[in-house]
């Protein structure tokens, strides 16, 4: 049975993101709130960051701040953010579609980008970012990646930083995108992106891109999409002590979306997670080997690999699909795609010690590429049952080389998918 030693080493250093510690600030800026939906508080917020973003402290008092325009607060240093109130984003869809800030990946955009060195962002467990997302859920309908629909917050270029105790409710799209960041932790975070009616599409709890040494600890996510998703060049990622409700589970990907671009996901540890009514506990999705359209709603033909990933100590109630799924057949723009053509390889993956209930008869559905086979897959310590107590023991496989702890019991279904399975 294969258990990557590098993950044990990673655990020993995962705490290094805690290096940034709160300290006494020499300059304090308390942000005034105008108290009216018609008055934009963003300029006052930007001014506070300008004055106190280097060696200072920015305080949001226990009131509501109306955010009617984009905010770029990057380049900070040794800065504390004390969020005691609520930041409430406006519902002016026309403005946001015309002005949202580029994230730097998949043609995605954001309402607020924040970054710098040695930041400490404290929400105390009640400081809230409210994206007024119901307006967006109604507007986009079933369109997942609506162009220029903004993320709630993008952490860009953060190093040695801590984000703690923040609440996100009804985010406009993805809640938190993390890009070009290192040695940063996100702890005690609550996300609830449920809508008044139906499922809110593409409301991921968090997404990492081009980032390393990132810790997610003690998250609770209630949404209809990826609980936490690790995308291109996400390395040394720890996700632990979290609870996920109703969404898709932990996602690796999607990856391989950019033709001939080499990407990796490496050294990932997901442990002590509770799942409630999620589709999977974990799934991996890569684009097909042919480019069809362009991001965000098309692509394919990417290169690279995802390896040394362990998912352990998992408790699930009422899973809606296979606990673990691989689909190397992500393709959009209305195309069916060649499901065996992906050039992105998956290897050295461990899923162990999982118990609970599921409505699916499959523990795993592994639909891998014929071009780059999935290699060295370990699944062990599984006790999944139907609600009537019957053991679940099917493992469906396609193009898998090297199985440990389980035997493939049947052929996997082959078909286009962005969520695992067919």
Tokens for 415? Answer: 């078909």
Out of 78, 213, 225, 348, pick the active-site residue.
225
CB 318, CB 371: distance < 8 Å: no
Look at strands 150-151 and 101-102 and give their pairing: unpaired
Tokens for 285? Answer: 């999705």
Where does residue 309 rank: exposed (0-12), middle (13-18), buried (19+ CB within 10 A)?
Answer: buried
CB 45, CB 81: distance < 8 Å: no
Q: How many helices (H) and strands (E) does the chain have?
A: 4, 30
Residue 420 CB coordination number (10 Å): 26
Percent of residues in the chain assigned helix, strand, coil, to nearest 5: 10, 50, 40
Is residue 225 among the annotated active site residues? yes
Element (H, E) at 219: strand 211-222
Q: State whether residue 166 is helix, strand or coil.
A: coil
Tokens for 224? Answer: 């209809």
Tokens for 155? Answer: 């952490």
Look at strands 109-110 and 101-102 and give their pairing: antiparallel
Which residues are catalytically annotated?
225
């Amino acid at each position: 049975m294969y258990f990557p030693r590098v993950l044990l080493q990673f655990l020993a250093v995962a705490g290094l993101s805690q290096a940034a510690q709160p300290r006494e600030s020499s300059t304090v800026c308390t942000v005034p709130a105008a108290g009216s939906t018609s008055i934009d508080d963003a300029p006052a917020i930007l001014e506070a960051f300008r004055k106190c973003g280097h060696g200072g402290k920015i305080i949001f008092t226990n009131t509501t701040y109306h955010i009617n325009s984009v905010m770029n607060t990057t380049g900070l240093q040794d800065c504390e953010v004390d969020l005691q109130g609520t930041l409430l984003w406006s519902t002016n869809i026309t403005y946001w579609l015309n002005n949202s800030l580029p994230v730097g990946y998949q043609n995605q955009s954001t309402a607020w980008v924040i970054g710098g060195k040695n930041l400490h962002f404290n929400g105390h467990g009640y400081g809230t970012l409210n994206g007024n997302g119901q307006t967006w859920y109604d507007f986009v309908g079933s369109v997942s990646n609506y162009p220029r629909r903004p993320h709630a917050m993008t952490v860009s270029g953060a190093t040695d930083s801590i984000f703690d105790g923040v609440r996100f409710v009804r985010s406009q799209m993805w809640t938190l995108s993390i890009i070009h960041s290192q040695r940063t932790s996100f702890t005690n975070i609550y996300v609830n992106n449920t809508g008044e009616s139906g499922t809110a599409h593409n409301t991921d709890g968090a997404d990492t891109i081009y980032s390393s040494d990132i810790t997610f600890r003690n998250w609770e996510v209630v949404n209809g999409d990826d609980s936490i998703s690790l995308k291109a060049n996400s390395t040394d990622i720890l996700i632990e002590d979290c609870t996920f409700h109703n969404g898709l589970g932990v996602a690796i990907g999607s990856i391989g979306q950019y033709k001939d671009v080499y990407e990796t996901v490496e050294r990932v540890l997901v442990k002590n997670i509770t799942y409630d009514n999620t589709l999977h506990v974990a799934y991996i999705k890569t684009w097909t080997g042919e480019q069809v359209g362009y991001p965000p709603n098309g692509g394919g033909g990417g290169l690279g690999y995802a390896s040394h990933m362990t998912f352990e100590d998992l408790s699930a109630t009422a899973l809606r699909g296979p606990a673990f799924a691989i689909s190397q057949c992500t393709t959009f723009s209305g195309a069916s795609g060649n499901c065996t053509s992906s050039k992105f390889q998956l290897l050295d993956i461990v899923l162990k010690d999982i118990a609970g209930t599921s409505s699916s008869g499959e523990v795993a559905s592994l639909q891998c590429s014929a071009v780059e086979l999935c290699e060295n897959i370990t699944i062990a310590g599984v006790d999944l049952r139907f609600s009537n107590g019957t053991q679940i023991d099917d493992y469906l496989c396609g193009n898998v080389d090297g199985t440990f702890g389980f035997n493939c019991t049947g052929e996997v279904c082959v078909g286009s998918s962005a969520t695992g399975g067919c």
